[in-house]
Structure 1
Amino acid sequence: MYAAVGEPGRVAALLGTVTPDDTVRGATVTRGTGALAGETFSGWGLRPATTWDRMATETAPKVPDVGEAAVALLDLDRDADEIAGLLAVANPSTRQGASGPHACRARWYGVRVPSEPRGRRGGALVAVGSATPVPGDAVHLRSVGTHPAFRGRGYAGALTARMTADGVAEHGLVTLGLYDDNVAARRVYERLGFVLAHEVETWHRV
Protein backbone atom coordinates (compact mmCIF):
# COMPACT_ATOMS: atom_id res chain seq x y z
CA MET A 1 0.00 0.00 0.00
CA TYR A 2 1.45 3.37 -1.03
CA ALA A 3 0.59 6.73 0.51
CA ALA A 4 1.80 10.15 -0.63
CA VAL A 5 0.92 13.69 0.39
CA GLY A 6 1.81 16.86 -1.48
CA GLU A 7 1.09 18.92 -4.59
CA PRO A 8 -0.50 16.52 -7.12
CA GLY A 9 2.02 17.22 -9.90
CA ARG A 10 4.98 16.49 -7.64
CA VAL A 11 3.34 13.38 -6.17
CA ALA A 12 2.58 12.08 -9.69
CA ALA A 13 6.17 12.68 -10.78
CA LEU A 14 7.47 10.87 -7.70
CA LEU A 15 5.19 7.87 -8.27
CA GLY A 16 6.46 7.66 -11.84
CA THR A 17 9.93 6.87 -10.50
CA VAL A 18 8.74 3.99 -8.31
CA THR A 19 9.25 0.37 -9.38
CA PRO A 20 7.33 -1.83 -6.92
CA ASP A 21 9.06 -4.97 -5.68
CA ASP A 22 5.75 -6.72 -5.00
CA THR A 23 2.10 -6.50 -6.01
CA VAL A 24 0.67 -3.10 -5.06
CA ARG A 25 -2.55 -3.49 -3.07
CA GLY A 26 -3.56 0.15 -3.26
CA ALA A 27 -2.58 3.80 -3.06
CA THR A 28 -3.79 6.81 -1.08
CA VAL A 29 -2.74 10.15 -2.51
CA THR A 30 -3.65 13.83 -2.59
CA ARG A 31 -6.77 14.34 -4.67
CA GLY A 32 -5.97 15.25 -8.25
CA THR A 33 -2.90 13.01 -8.42
CA GLY A 34 -4.73 10.25 -10.28
CA ALA A 35 -5.50 12.55 -13.21
CA LEU A 36 -1.74 12.92 -13.69
CA ALA A 37 -0.59 9.44 -12.67
CA GLY A 38 -3.34 7.32 -14.20
CA GLU A 39 -0.95 5.34 -16.40
CA THR A 40 1.27 4.59 -13.42
CA PHE A 41 -1.66 3.34 -11.35
CA SER A 42 -3.04 1.30 -14.26
CA GLY A 43 0.36 -0.30 -14.71
CA TRP A 44 0.25 -1.33 -11.07
CA GLY A 45 -3.18 -2.90 -11.60
CA LEU A 46 -5.08 -0.21 -9.69
CA ARG A 47 -8.35 1.57 -10.43
CA PRO A 48 -10.03 4.61 -8.82
CA ALA A 49 -11.94 3.66 -5.68
CA THR A 50 -13.01 6.52 -3.40
CA THR A 51 -12.52 10.22 -2.75
CA TRP A 52 -12.62 11.43 0.81
CA ASP A 53 -11.58 14.23 3.13
CA ARG A 54 -9.46 14.21 6.25
CA MET A 55 -10.68 16.69 8.89
CA ALA A 56 -9.01 17.77 12.14
CA THR A 57 -9.53 19.81 15.28
CA GLU A 58 -7.55 20.91 18.31
CA THR A 59 -10.61 22.30 20.11
CA ALA A 60 -12.65 20.26 22.58
CA PRO A 61 -16.37 20.71 21.83
CA LYS A 62 -19.15 20.77 24.38
CA VAL A 63 -20.93 17.41 24.59
CA PRO A 64 -24.63 18.06 23.93
CA ASP A 65 -27.39 16.69 26.14
CA VAL A 66 -29.39 13.95 24.40
CA GLY A 67 -31.92 13.32 27.13
CA GLU A 68 -32.14 9.82 28.55
CA ALA A 69 -29.62 8.48 26.03
CA ALA A 70 -26.11 8.14 27.36
CA VAL A 71 -22.69 8.16 25.69
CA ALA A 72 -20.61 5.52 27.42
CA LEU A 73 -17.39 3.59 27.00
CA LEU A 74 -17.78 0.10 25.56
CA ASP A 75 -15.77 -3.04 26.24
CA LEU A 76 -14.60 -4.55 22.95
CA ASP A 77 -14.28 -8.06 24.40
CA ARG A 78 -17.78 -7.94 25.84
CA ASP A 79 -19.54 -5.82 23.22
CA ALA A 80 -17.87 -6.89 19.95
CA ASP A 81 -20.90 -8.77 18.59
CA GLU A 82 -23.24 -5.90 19.42
CA ILE A 83 -20.86 -3.37 17.81
CA ALA A 84 -20.51 -5.50 14.69
CA GLY A 85 -24.27 -5.96 14.41
CA LEU A 86 -24.90 -2.24 14.65
CA LEU A 87 -22.18 -1.29 12.16
CA ALA A 88 -23.55 -3.83 9.67
CA VAL A 89 -26.66 -1.67 9.31
CA ALA A 90 -25.33 1.76 10.35
CA ASN A 91 -22.05 1.90 8.41
CA PRO A 92 -21.71 -1.24 6.27
CA SER A 93 -18.94 0.19 4.09
CA THR A 94 -16.48 0.64 6.96
CA ARG A 95 -13.38 -1.54 6.96
CA GLN A 96 -12.56 -0.54 10.52
CA GLY A 97 -15.17 -2.44 12.54
CA ALA A 98 -14.87 -4.44 15.73
CA SER A 99 -12.67 -7.01 14.00
CA GLY A 100 -10.65 -4.49 11.95
CA PRO A 101 -6.87 -4.09 12.15
CA HIS A 102 -7.06 -1.16 14.59
CA ALA A 103 -9.94 -2.38 16.74
CA CYS A 104 -7.93 -3.64 19.70
CA ARG A 105 -5.94 -0.39 20.01
CA ALA A 106 -9.05 1.76 19.91
CA ARG A 107 -11.26 3.08 22.69
CA TRP A 108 -14.86 2.28 21.78
CA TYR A 109 -17.83 4.50 22.60
CA GLY A 110 -21.56 3.93 22.23
CA VAL A 111 -24.94 5.53 22.77
CA ARG A 112 -27.57 3.46 24.57
CA VAL A 113 -31.24 4.36 24.73
CA PRO A 114 -32.87 2.92 27.84
CA SER A 115 -36.31 4.26 26.96
CA GLU A 116 -36.50 2.03 23.88
CA PRO A 117 -37.03 -1.77 24.02
CA ARG A 118 -34.34 -2.75 26.44
CA GLY A 119 -31.20 -4.56 25.37
CA ARG A 120 -28.56 -5.84 27.72
CA ARG A 121 -26.52 -3.63 30.03
CA GLY A 122 -28.95 -0.74 30.27
CA GLY A 123 -30.47 -0.32 26.84
CA ALA A 124 -30.20 -0.80 23.11
CA LEU A 125 -26.95 0.25 21.45
CA VAL A 126 -28.00 2.71 18.72
CA ALA A 127 -24.76 4.56 17.86
CA VAL A 128 -21.10 3.60 18.01
CA GLY A 129 -17.64 4.96 17.25
CA SER A 130 -13.97 4.37 18.04
CA ALA A 131 -10.96 6.56 18.82
CA THR A 132 -7.50 5.22 17.98
CA PRO A 133 -4.18 6.80 19.03
CA VAL A 134 -2.00 7.44 15.96
CA PRO A 135 1.56 8.73 15.43
CA GLY A 136 2.04 12.44 16.04
CA ASP A 137 0.27 12.44 19.40
CA ALA A 138 -3.20 12.45 17.84
CA VAL A 139 -6.39 10.41 17.92
CA HIS A 140 -8.20 9.25 14.78
CA LEU A 141 -11.95 8.61 14.89
CA ARG A 142 -13.28 5.59 13.00
CA SER A 143 -16.29 3.29 12.69
CA VAL A 144 -18.85 5.99 13.48
CA GLY A 145 -22.43 4.96 12.79
CA THR A 146 -26.01 5.42 14.00
CA HIS A 147 -28.79 2.90 13.44
CA PRO A 148 -31.02 4.26 10.63
CA ALA A 149 -34.09 4.14 12.88
CA PHE A 150 -32.42 6.48 15.39
CA ARG A 151 -30.92 9.11 13.10
CA GLY A 152 -31.85 12.76 13.42
CA ARG A 153 -31.90 12.70 17.23
CA GLY A 154 -28.43 14.15 17.84
CA TYR A 155 -26.80 10.88 18.87
CA ALA A 156 -24.00 11.02 16.29
CA GLY A 157 -23.17 14.57 17.33
CA ALA A 158 -23.08 13.70 21.04
CA LEU A 159 -21.00 10.58 20.40
CA THR A 160 -18.48 12.41 18.21
CA ALA A 161 -18.32 15.33 20.63
CA ARG A 162 -17.47 13.00 23.54
CA MET A 163 -14.79 11.17 21.55
CA THR A 164 -13.35 14.47 20.34
CA ALA A 165 -13.35 16.10 23.78
CA ASP A 166 -11.56 13.09 25.29
CA GLY A 167 -9.08 12.96 22.42
CA VAL A 168 -8.21 16.65 22.60
CA ALA A 169 -7.82 16.47 26.38
CA GLU A 170 -5.45 13.51 26.16
CA HIS A 171 -3.58 14.12 22.90
CA GLY A 172 -4.30 17.65 21.69
CA LEU A 173 -5.33 16.72 18.12
CA VAL A 174 -8.23 14.66 16.74
CA THR A 175 -8.65 13.64 13.10
CA LEU A 176 -11.26 11.76 11.09
CA GLY A 177 -12.05 10.88 7.50
CA LEU A 178 -15.31 10.97 5.56
CA TYR A 179 -16.36 10.42 1.98
CA ASP A 180 -16.35 13.80 0.25
CA ASP A 181 -20.07 13.54 -0.66
CA ASN A 182 -21.25 12.80 2.90
CA VAL A 183 -22.87 16.19 3.43
CA ALA A 184 -24.83 15.27 6.56
CA ALA A 185 -21.77 14.00 8.42
CA ARG A 186 -19.72 17.01 7.32
CA ARG A 187 -22.29 19.36 8.87
CA VAL A 188 -22.02 17.50 12.19
CA TYR A 189 -18.23 17.59 12.19
CA GLU A 190 -18.03 21.26 11.23
CA ARG A 191 -20.40 22.16 14.08
CA LEU A 192 -17.98 20.38 16.42
CA GLY A 193 -15.03 22.45 15.18
CA PHE A 194 -13.48 20.15 12.59
CA VAL A 195 -11.90 21.76 9.52
CA LEU A 196 -10.71 20.32 6.24
CA ALA A 197 -7.07 19.24 6.46
CA HIS A 198 -6.48 17.15 3.32
CA GLU A 199 -8.40 16.07 0.20
CA VAL A 200 -7.64 12.46 -0.67
CA GLU A 201 -8.29 9.83 -3.32
CA THR A 202 -7.71 6.09 -3.07
CA TRP A 203 -6.94 3.52 -5.74
CA HIS A 204 -7.46 -0.24 -5.27
CA ARG A 205 -6.58 -3.36 -7.21
CA VAL A 206 -8.81 -4.17 -10.18
Structure 2
Amino acid sequence: MDRLTRHADLLALSGGDPWVRWSVPDPLPGEVWVHEEVALVQRLGARPGFWVVPLCSGMQGTSPSRGELARVRAALTELRDGGHLARLGSRSVSVPQAHAEVAHEVLELGDGGDWEWMWTQEPPQVDARERDVIPLDDSADAAELTAFTQAHNPRQWTEIGTGRVHRWVGLRDGHGALVAVGGAEREATGIPHLAGIVTAIDRRGTGLARVVSAALTRWALEEHGVCTLGMFSDNAAARSLYARLGYRTARAWHSRMLVPVS
Protein backbone atom coordinates (compact mmCIF):
# COMPACT_ATOMS: atom_id res chain seq x y z
CA MET A 1 0.00 0.00 0.00
CA ASP A 2 1.08 3.58 -0.65
CA ARG A 3 0.59 6.24 2.03
CA LEU A 4 -1.00 9.56 1.03
CA THR A 5 -0.33 12.66 3.08
CA ARG A 6 -1.88 15.41 0.94
CA HIS A 7 -5.58 15.99 0.40
CA ALA A 8 -4.82 17.41 -3.06
CA ASP A 9 -3.32 14.08 -4.11
CA LEU A 10 -6.37 12.12 -2.93
CA LEU A 11 -8.70 14.56 -4.69
CA ALA A 12 -6.72 14.30 -7.92
CA LEU A 13 -6.64 10.49 -7.81
CA SER A 14 -10.40 10.45 -7.23
CA GLY A 15 -11.06 12.65 -10.26
CA GLY A 16 -12.48 15.43 -8.08
CA ASP A 17 -14.93 13.17 -6.26
CA PRO A 18 -17.47 15.37 -4.37
CA TRP A 19 -17.29 13.20 -1.23
CA VAL A 20 -13.51 13.55 -1.11
CA ARG A 21 -13.73 17.29 -1.81
CA TRP A 22 -16.36 18.20 0.77
CA SER A 23 -16.40 15.42 3.38
CA VAL A 24 -12.73 14.48 3.81
CA PRO A 25 -10.90 17.28 5.66
CA ASP A 26 -7.65 18.91 4.67
CA PRO A 27 -5.20 18.07 6.21
CA LEU A 28 -6.13 14.43 5.88
CA PRO A 29 -7.48 12.73 9.02
CA GLY A 30 -5.44 9.90 10.43
CA GLU A 31 -3.96 7.58 7.84
CA VAL A 32 -4.88 7.38 4.16
CA TRP A 33 -3.58 4.59 1.96
CA VAL A 34 -4.03 3.62 -1.68
CA HIS A 35 -3.95 -0.04 -2.69
CA GLU A 36 -4.57 -1.00 -6.31
CA GLU A 37 -6.58 2.17 -7.09
CA VAL A 38 -8.66 1.88 -3.92
CA ALA A 39 -8.28 4.54 -1.21
CA LEU A 40 -8.52 3.48 2.43
CA VAL A 41 -9.36 6.57 4.47
CA GLN A 42 -9.13 6.23 8.23
CA ARG A 43 -12.32 7.21 10.02
CA LEU A 44 -11.92 8.80 13.43
CA GLY A 45 -14.52 9.60 16.09
CA ALA A 46 -17.14 7.42 17.76
CA ARG A 47 -17.01 4.66 15.12
CA PRO A 48 -13.33 4.47 14.18
CA GLY A 49 -12.46 2.45 11.12
CA PHE A 50 -12.04 2.94 7.39
CA TRP A 51 -13.85 4.31 4.37
CA VAL A 52 -13.11 2.14 1.32
CA VAL A 53 -13.15 4.32 -1.81
CA PRO A 54 -12.58 2.93 -5.34
CA LEU A 55 -10.80 5.73 -7.18
CA CYS A 56 -11.67 4.70 -10.74
CA SER A 57 -15.31 3.80 -10.18
CA GLY A 58 -17.92 4.15 -12.89
CA MET A 59 -20.92 6.44 -12.61
CA GLN A 60 -22.93 6.16 -9.40
CA GLY A 61 -25.56 3.44 -9.75
CA THR A 62 -23.68 1.39 -12.34
CA SER A 63 -22.42 -2.10 -11.59
CA PRO A 64 -18.70 -2.27 -10.79
CA SER A 65 -16.44 -4.01 -13.23
CA ARG A 66 -14.89 -7.37 -12.41
CA GLY A 67 -11.55 -5.60 -12.09
CA GLU A 68 -12.90 -3.10 -9.57
CA LEU A 69 -14.44 -5.91 -7.51
CA ALA A 70 -11.05 -7.62 -7.45
CA ARG A 71 -9.27 -4.42 -6.42
CA VAL A 72 -11.68 -3.76 -3.55
CA ARG A 73 -11.27 -7.36 -2.40
CA ALA A 74 -7.50 -6.94 -2.46
CA ALA A 75 -7.65 -3.67 -0.50
CA LEU A 76 -9.93 -5.17 2.17
CA THR A 77 -7.70 -8.22 2.43
CA GLU A 78 -4.67 -5.99 2.93
CA LEU A 79 -6.49 -4.10 5.68
CA ARG A 80 -7.28 -7.37 7.42
CA ASP A 81 -4.08 -9.34 6.89
CA GLY A 82 -1.76 -6.35 7.21
CA GLY A 83 -2.97 -5.79 10.76
CA HIS A 84 -4.11 -2.23 10.06
CA LEU A 85 -7.61 -2.70 11.50
CA ALA A 86 -6.27 -3.94 14.82
CA ARG A 87 -3.35 -1.50 14.90
CA LEU A 88 -5.65 1.51 14.58
CA GLY A 89 -8.41 0.20 16.84
CA SER A 90 -10.91 0.00 13.99
CA ARG A 91 -14.50 -0.83 14.89
CA SER A 92 -16.26 -0.19 11.57
CA VAL A 93 -15.88 -0.16 7.83
CA SER A 94 -17.84 1.60 5.10
CA VAL A 95 -17.72 0.27 1.55
CA PRO A 96 -19.74 1.20 -1.54
CA GLN A 97 -23.03 -0.70 -1.53
CA ALA A 98 -22.02 -2.34 -4.80
CA HIS A 99 -19.15 -3.98 -2.90
CA ALA A 100 -21.12 -5.13 0.15
CA GLU A 101 -20.96 -8.81 -0.77
CA VAL A 102 -17.19 -8.69 -1.16
CA ALA A 103 -16.82 -6.90 2.17
CA HIS A 104 -18.80 -9.61 3.98
CA GLU A 105 -16.68 -12.30 2.34
CA VAL A 106 -13.41 -10.72 3.51
CA LEU A 107 -14.40 -9.30 6.92
CA GLU A 108 -16.59 -10.36 9.83
CA LEU A 109 -19.23 -7.64 9.79
CA GLY A 110 -22.15 -7.01 12.13
CA ASP A 111 -24.87 -4.37 12.44
CA GLY A 112 -25.00 -1.17 10.47
CA GLY A 113 -26.93 0.62 7.77
CA ASP A 114 -27.08 1.47 4.08
CA TRP A 115 -27.13 5.18 3.37
CA GLU A 116 -26.26 7.76 0.74
CA TRP A 117 -24.09 10.85 0.86
CA MET A 118 -25.52 13.58 -1.37
CA TRP A 119 -24.55 17.12 -2.34
CA THR A 120 -25.76 20.13 -4.28
CA GLN A 121 -24.51 23.47 -5.52
CA GLU A 122 -27.82 24.36 -7.16
CA PRO A 123 -30.23 26.76 -5.39
CA PRO A 124 -33.68 25.12 -5.04
CA GLN A 125 -36.82 26.72 -6.40
CA VAL A 126 -38.34 29.16 -3.93
CA ASP A 127 -41.42 27.94 -2.06
CA ALA A 128 -43.59 30.80 -0.76
CA ARG A 129 -43.96 28.94 2.55
CA GLU A 130 -40.27 29.54 3.29
CA ARG A 131 -41.31 32.94 4.64
CA ASP A 132 -42.91 31.05 7.57
CA VAL A 133 -39.70 29.22 8.49
CA ILE A 134 -38.44 30.28 11.92
CA PRO A 135 -35.07 29.80 13.65
CA LEU A 136 -34.83 27.37 16.56
CA ASP A 137 -32.08 27.01 19.13
CA ASP A 138 -30.19 23.78 19.81
CA SER A 139 -30.00 24.56 23.51
CA ALA A 140 -33.05 26.62 24.42
CA ASP A 141 -35.41 24.50 22.27
CA ALA A 142 -33.71 21.14 22.92
CA ALA A 143 -36.58 19.62 24.93
CA GLU A 144 -39.18 20.55 22.31
CA LEU A 145 -36.99 19.38 19.42
CA THR A 146 -36.29 16.07 21.16
CA ALA A 147 -39.94 15.40 21.95
CA PHE A 148 -41.02 16.26 18.41
CA THR A 149 -38.34 14.09 16.82
CA GLN A 150 -39.02 11.09 19.05
CA ALA A 151 -42.75 11.33 18.39
CA HIS A 152 -42.52 11.62 14.63
CA ASN A 153 -39.29 9.84 13.60
CA PRO A 154 -37.66 7.72 16.32
CA ARG A 155 -35.07 6.42 13.80
CA GLN A 156 -33.55 9.90 13.60
CA TRP A 157 -29.84 9.88 14.56
CA THR A 158 -29.42 13.62 14.98
CA GLU A 159 -27.92 14.77 18.28
CA ILE A 160 -29.96 17.52 19.93
CA GLY A 161 -28.70 19.85 22.64
CA THR A 162 -25.02 18.93 22.18
CA GLY A 163 -24.04 21.74 19.84
CA ARG A 164 -23.45 19.35 16.96
CA VAL A 165 -26.35 20.91 15.02
CA HIS A 166 -25.37 24.54 14.63
CA ARG A 167 -28.51 25.74 12.83
CA TRP A 168 -32.11 24.66 13.40
CA VAL A 169 -35.22 25.90 11.61
CA GLY A 170 -38.86 24.90 11.87
CA LEU A 171 -42.49 25.54 11.01
CA ARG A 172 -45.33 25.94 13.53
CA ASP A 173 -49.07 25.59 13.09
CA GLY A 174 -51.65 28.20 14.07
CA HIS A 175 -51.49 27.01 17.68
CA GLY A 176 -47.71 27.32 17.92
CA ALA A 177 -46.97 23.59 17.76
CA LEU A 178 -44.08 22.37 15.64
CA VAL A 179 -45.12 20.66 12.39
CA ALA A 180 -41.68 20.35 10.73
CA VAL A 181 -38.04 20.87 11.71
CA GLY A 182 -34.65 20.63 10.07
CA GLY A 183 -31.07 21.22 11.07
CA ALA A 184 -27.58 21.64 9.69
CA GLU A 185 -24.50 20.02 11.15
CA ARG A 186 -20.99 20.56 9.79
CA GLU A 187 -18.90 18.14 7.80
CA ALA A 188 -15.35 17.72 9.06
CA THR A 189 -14.52 20.20 6.30
CA GLY A 190 -16.86 22.82 7.80
CA ILE A 191 -19.41 22.46 5.00
CA PRO A 192 -23.10 22.43 6.12
CA HIS A 193 -24.67 18.98 6.25
CA LEU A 194 -28.45 18.68 6.55
CA ALA A 195 -29.72 16.59 9.45
CA GLY A 196 -32.82 16.04 11.53
CA ILE A 197 -35.40 16.71 8.81
CA VAL A 198 -38.68 15.62 10.41
CA THR A 199 -42.34 16.31 9.53
CA ALA A 200 -45.27 15.67 11.87
CA ILE A 201 -46.94 12.38 10.97
CA ASP A 202 -50.30 14.01 10.26
CA ARG A 203 -48.66 16.60 7.97
CA ARG A 204 -46.68 14.25 5.74
CA GLY A 205 -47.31 14.61 2.05
CA THR A 206 -47.88 18.36 2.32
CA GLY A 207 -44.37 19.43 1.31
CA LEU A 208 -43.22 20.75 4.68
CA ALA A 209 -39.99 18.73 4.63
CA ARG A 210 -39.21 20.35 1.29
CA VAL A 211 -39.81 23.81 2.76
CA VAL A 212 -37.38 23.44 5.68
CA SER A 213 -34.85 21.57 3.52
CA ALA A 214 -34.99 24.25 0.84
CA ALA A 215 -34.57 27.03 3.42
CA LEU A 216 -31.52 25.33 4.94
CA THR A 217 -30.05 24.51 1.54
CA ARG A 218 -30.46 28.10 0.35
CA TRP A 219 -28.72 29.39 3.50
CA ALA A 220 -25.85 26.87 3.06
CA LEU A 221 -25.31 27.81 -0.57
CA GLU A 222 -25.29 31.52 0.24
CA GLU A 223 -22.73 30.97 3.01
CA HIS A 224 -20.57 28.16 1.59
CA GLY A 225 -21.54 27.47 -2.03
CA VAL A 226 -22.40 23.82 -1.33
CA CYS A 227 -24.60 21.72 0.97
CA THR A 228 -24.45 18.00 1.75
CA LEU A 229 -26.67 15.45 3.47
CA GLY A 230 -26.97 11.77 4.35
CA MET A 231 -30.12 9.66 3.98
CA PHE A 232 -31.07 6.04 4.61
CA SER A 233 -31.16 4.22 1.28
CA ASP A 234 -34.56 2.64 1.95
CA ASN A 235 -36.21 6.08 2.18
CA ALA A 236 -37.52 6.49 -1.37
CA ALA A 237 -39.63 9.51 -0.43
CA ALA A 238 -36.59 11.36 0.91
CA ARG A 239 -34.57 10.51 -2.20
CA SER A 240 -37.30 11.94 -4.41
CA LEU A 241 -37.51 15.08 -2.27
CA TYR A 242 -33.77 15.74 -2.33
CA ALA A 243 -33.54 15.06 -6.07
CA ARG A 244 -36.16 17.74 -6.63
CA LEU A 245 -34.04 20.11 -4.55
CA GLY A 246 -31.04 19.43 -6.79
CA TYR A 247 -29.13 16.91 -4.65
CA ARG A 248 -27.17 14.08 -6.26
CA THR A 249 -25.72 10.92 -4.74
CA ALA A 250 -21.93 10.82 -4.73
CA ARG A 251 -21.45 7.76 -2.50
CA ALA A 252 -23.92 5.02 -1.55
CA TRP A 253 -22.39 3.48 1.57
CA HIS A 254 -22.73 0.07 3.20
CA SER A 255 -21.56 0.84 6.76
CA ARG A 256 -21.08 -1.99 9.22
CA MET A 257 -19.48 -2.60 12.59
CA LEU A 258 -16.63 -5.07 12.70
CA VAL A 259 -17.28 -8.20 14.76
CA PRO A 260 -14.62 -8.31 17.51
CA VAL A 261 -12.15 -11.14 17.21
CA SER A 262 -12.57 -13.44 20.19
Same fold (TM > 0.5):
yes
| Corresponding residue for residue 76 of structure 2 | 12
Write out per-residue CA displacement over residues 120-141 of structure 1, whole angstroms, 9 at most, x where no aligned residue: xxx1111111112323452111
SS class of match (2:128): coil
| Corresponding residue for residue 49 of structure 2 | 2
SS class of match (2:192): strand
How far off its partner does 1:15 sit? 2.8
Higher relative contact order (CA 8 A, sep 6+): 1
Choose from 84, 95, 107 the match for 2:167. Answer: 107
**Alpha-carbon distance in 2 for matches of 1:21, 1:12:** 15
How far off its partner does 1:180 sit? 1.2
| Corresponding residue for residue 204 of structure 2 | 151
| Corresponding residue for residue 58 of structure 1 | 121
**Alpha-carbon distance in 1 for matches of 2:78, 2:122:** 35
In structure 2, give the amino acid aligned to 1:98.
I
SS class of match (2:98): coil
Percentage of identical aligned residues: 30
How far off its partner does 1:165 sit? 0.4
| Corresponding residue for residue 94 of structure 2 | 28
**Alpha-carbon distance in 1 for matches of 2:50, 2:255:** 9
The answer for unaligned runs of 5 or more in structure 2 is 1-47, 55-68
Write out per-residue CA displacement over residues 105-133 of structure 1, whole angstroms, 9 at most, x where no aligned residue: x211111122xxx2xxxx11111111123
Verify the 8 A CA contact 1:27 1:202 in the aligned structure 2.
Answer: yes
Aligned 1:39-54 pairs, distance under 5 A? 39-42=105-108, 46-54=109-117
**Alpha-carbon distance in 2 for matches of 1:182, 1:91:** 12
Verify the 8 A CA contact 1:70 1:113 in the aligned structure 2.
Answer: no
Is 1:187–2:249 an aligned residue pair? no
The 3 A distance-change label for structure 1 pair 95 and 130 is same
| Corresponding residue for residue 11 of structure 2 | none
**Alpha-carbon distance in 1 for matches of 2:115, 2:94:** 10
- Count of residues in Structure 1 that have an aligned counterpart in Structure 2: 193
Instruction: Give me the TM-score of the superposition, normalised by structure 2.
Output: 0.66
In structure 1, give the amino acid aligned to 2:149.
L
Write out per-residue CA displacement over residues 1-27 of structure 1, whole angstroms, 9 at most, x where no aligned residue: 213142264352443332414754322
The answer for unaligned runs of 5 or more in structure 1 is none
**Alpha-carbon distance in 1 for matches of 2:183, 2:258:** 27
Write out per-residue CA displacement over residues 39-98 of structure 1, whole angstroms, 9 at most, x where no aligned residue: 5531xxx3142111111101121331239x821110122110110011102221122131
Verify the 8 A CA contact 1:137 1:172 in the aligned structure 2.
Answer: no
Instruction: Give me the TM-score of the superposition, normalised by structure 1.
Output: 0.83
